Structure 1
Amino acid sequence: MKNLILKWNQVSLVKRILVGIIVGIILAVTIPDAAKWVTIFGSLFVGALKAVAPVLVLFLVMHAISKHRSGQRTNMKSIVALYGLSTFLAGFVAVLASFIFPVTLSLTAGAEDVTPPGGIVEVLRTLLFNIVDNPVNALLNGNYIGILTWAILLGIALRNAADTTKNLLSNLSDAVSQLVKWVINLAPLGIMGLVFDAIVNNGLSALLDYGKLLIVLVGCMFFVALVINPLIVFINIRKNPYPLVFKCLKESGLTAFFTRSSAANIPVNMSLCEKLDLDKDTYSVSIPLGATINMAGAAVTISVLTLAAVHTLDIQVDIATALILSVLSAVSAAGASGVAGGSLLLIPLACSLFGIPDDVAMQVVGVGFIIGVLQDSCETALNSSSDVLYTATAEYAKLRKEGKEIIINA
């Protein structure tokens, strides 16, 4: 048994995850009732990721900031700029696609019992209150904006601490990172349970009536992932971007597709950055930050579903308003929750731009929850994989400017 486990662990994680997916599908199709116990693996896996991610972010960011020396250069400005640009372009692509392939809805689906933000001011207000949240409360509730704020402030405060204190932070950071590696090693079992649960409880029948809407949504996300993102990467590093793009999609996007949570995928992204040999001082900050503000997939969802409501109600939209929607969807997406379905709560905010009443907008949110099986999975895969993509892009662009050779460990 020990030798079997060792051989299993020697197989690449992606191949093991694919085995888990196949087994999950087979069990769901053949013996769905007898194999219900399999779902516990998915719940445990996502629960473990969500449990360890806040602690990981706190210690990694605190340690990275505390050992930062004055004058030491990082790529954070470039990374944040790339995050913002890609999110805006994703919203713009979704707006164009919605005009080229207009979709109308039968707004009869009941809205979920949710309370969406009333406007952009409320979104910003929520962000500000998350920043000043109690650190213990932020850790308990997975408030990554609050965790980041406290980690950065404590890291700055500890810059002048004794070396023994900094060594303690380093040891704690390494210990939590090791815990994360153990959790990620259980991904095949966890994803097997998630796939089984998704097929048994949702199936694909509920998606048939919304096929065209799904095609536009998922098509936009694929276009952003395979055309827009590679173009941005190429402009920055002047090398073939696809080895890096495919590696990020394969190792980050695949797990994010099933966990459906950018926050839960933070440990996976940290591990991938380590494999790519990126600067730990940079990615320990950029990855958790990306999980909260780098939301290209969310921008696509907000734009497409909002314009579906617009077309359904036969509202005329000019180019200027469409551009405003692109900006609004990008800004709103940055305020979306890092959990499954978080972007759907911001649709009424975008609908308000066109004077669409809340009761109609909430029906659109209801449609979003119906198609969420695929929509949210693809959205999270795009969001999370591009966190690593742009962290790597900024570092490789810096190497190119310094005249150094860029080696992508794909």
Structure 2
Amino acid sequence: MRRNPNTGARMTAPDKLSPQRIAPDNPVLRFLFGTSLVVQILVGLLVGIALAWWWPTAAKSVGLLGTVFVSALKAVAPVLVLVLVTAAIANHQKGKSTHIRPILGLYLAGTLIAALVAVSASFLFPSSLKLVESGVEMAPPSGIVEVLRTLLLKIVDNPVNALRDGNFVGILAWAVGLGIALRHAGDGTRAMVTDLAGAVTFIVRLVIRFAPLGILGLVAATLAESGFGALLDYLRLLAVLVGSMLFVALVANPLIVLAMTRRNPYPLVLTCLRDSGITAFFTRSSAANIPVNLDLCRRLELPEDTYSVSIPLGATINMAGAAITITVLALAAVHTLNIEVDLATALLLSVVAAVAACGASGVAGGSLLLVPLACGMFGISNDVAMQVVAIGFIIGVVQDSCETALNSSTDVLFTAAACRSVRAD
């Protein structure tokens, strides 16, 4: 730390990455390094929309930027989770709380509440579907037992397979096991693991800096190729889906945070939606958004021992948006077929949707294959249920984006709420 030779006051060394040092006269670089990432993402969003509107051919080509960005996030996320969780547990000090238990409770409670909100919205605003011929050739799970069995097999998966396939349940299990084992290792070994986690984190932060270009490519390609014409027939269904998700994000979740922290929840809620939800909306993958959430937790100054475990865990089991999708689509099929549903069955559907959502894959469209599971509760045939899944893919441009934004931003929200509630006590 240097001191001012005239006043004797402490002077902080200038940032080597500041725009003044890199290119004092270059407006482009000054914008890149002197403007917040969220502003840059919004600029990329507007440029992508304009490009798709005026030059669709070029917009489709620019989509490569989005594909590369999402692929880069998916590539670094498994390695980051493995080394970060391992380092956090290996260097954890005995007697220091990680607050994982209350966060886990928030994840489960939030998912169940989201399912209840979806049931209420579906009864207040019933939707009917125009069932179509399904071209979806996928096998949905036959029941809750199969969903739980799949989760168990993911836990004991080979670590190489887990890293290759992006199986974050298996990665998390191996990271916890290695972290516990390395707690008995020498100081040099644990320091090396910590340095490795720092190196991977640096790579992740570098990838995140390219988010504006990635968002530009994703938006331009999506609007140029799909547009929103196919969504007009399903506006009512989309309104119920998106409305339920907005209610959970802006009403239910803030009430949960208020109960935990006893302070105004909206600054934290809006920060999570802005810094995590926007990116997740366009990547449409909770797994791909793990690096973004870890970076946000670091900027919120949350304990690394906590968020290094809770964020990848949340990307697997904290699926409020998925619970809403499963519930709303299943009840839309029920209303279309004029099937009577009593209160007890509706409540049971909420529980089933919440449990099934925890088994939803952390990739785009992961919740849709669980819709037939919920439809099976009402005796709806698998052929009809898969037609509902096909409709889900049609509206997925909006539905899956909103679902992922809710899921991923809530991971950070509940982690921060649990940590701050402990500080308040």
The 8 Å contact of residues 306 and 347 in structure 1, kept in 2 or not, is answered as yes
What amino acid maps onto 2:201 in structure 1? S
CA distance in 1, matches of 2:255, 2:164: 39
Letter in 1 for 2:68: L
With 377-386 and 1-10 compared, the bigger mean Cα shift is at 1-10
Indicate the residue corresponding to 1:317 in structure 2.
341
- The offset of 1:184, in angstroms, is 0.4
For residue 250 of structure 1, what is the amino acid of its counterpart?
Answer: R
1:297-346 residue CA offsets vs partner (Å, 9 max, x unmatched): 00000000000011111111111111110010000000000000000000
**Distance (whole Å) between structure 2 residues aligned to residue 124 and residue 105 of structure 1:** 30
Aligned to 1:132: 156
1:34 deviation in Å?
3.2
Matched, 1:51 2:80: no
Q: Paired residue for 2:250?
A: 226
CA distance in 2, matches of 1:297, 1:28: 28
User: How do 1:5-404 and structure 2 match up within 5 A?
Assistant: 5-401=29-425
**Runs of 4+ in structure 1 displaced over 6 angstroms?**
none
SS in 1 for 2:58: coil
CA contact (8 A) 2:60 2:225 kept: no
After superposition, the C-alpha distances for 1:319-377 in whole angstroms (9 at most, x for unaligned) are 11111100100000000000000000000111111111101110100110000000000
2:84 counterpart letter in structure 1: L
1-structure distance, mates of 2:87, 2:287: 20
Q: Which structure: larger Rg?
A: 2
TM superposition shift of 1:72: 1.9
The whole-number CA distance in structure 2 between the counterparts of 1:383 and 1:171 is: 30
State the distance in 2 between where 1:348 and 1:33 align: 37
Q: Deviations over 1:46-101 (max 9, x none)?
A: 00000000000000000111112332211100000000000000000000110111
TM-score normalised according to structure 1 size = 0.96
**What SS class does the counterpart of residue 342 from structure 1 fall into?**
coil
Aligned residues: 401
What is the percentage of aligned positions where both structures have the same residue? 62
Is the 1:109–1:367 contact (alpha carbons within 8 Å) kept by the matching residues of 2?
no
Q: Deviations over 1:203-245 (max 9, x none)?
A: 0000000000000000000000000000000011111100000
Note closer, same or farther for the CA distance 1:92–1:153 as it changes in structure 2 (3 Å cut): same
Question: SS of the counterpart of 1:267?
Answer: helix
Deviations along 1:13-42, whole A, 9 cap, x unmatched? 000000000110111110111343211110
Structure 2, unmatched stretches of 5+, are 1-21
Counterpart position of 2:12:
none
Cα deviation digits, residues 124-160 of structure 1 (max 9, x gap): 1111111111101100110000100000011111111
Counterparts of 1:193 and 1:314, CA distance in 2: 43
Q: How many angstroms does 1:109 deviate by? A: 3.9
Cα deviation, 1:110-133, whole Å, max 9, x if unaligned, reads: 241111111111101111111111
TM-score (norm 2): 0.93
Q: Secondary structure at the match of 1:34?
A: helix
Deviation at 1:201, TM superposition (A): 1.1
Whole-angstrom distance in 2 between the partners of 1:128 and 1:361 = 26
Distance of 2:302 and 2:321 partners within structure 1: 24
- Look up the equivalent residue of 2:39 and give its one-letter code: K
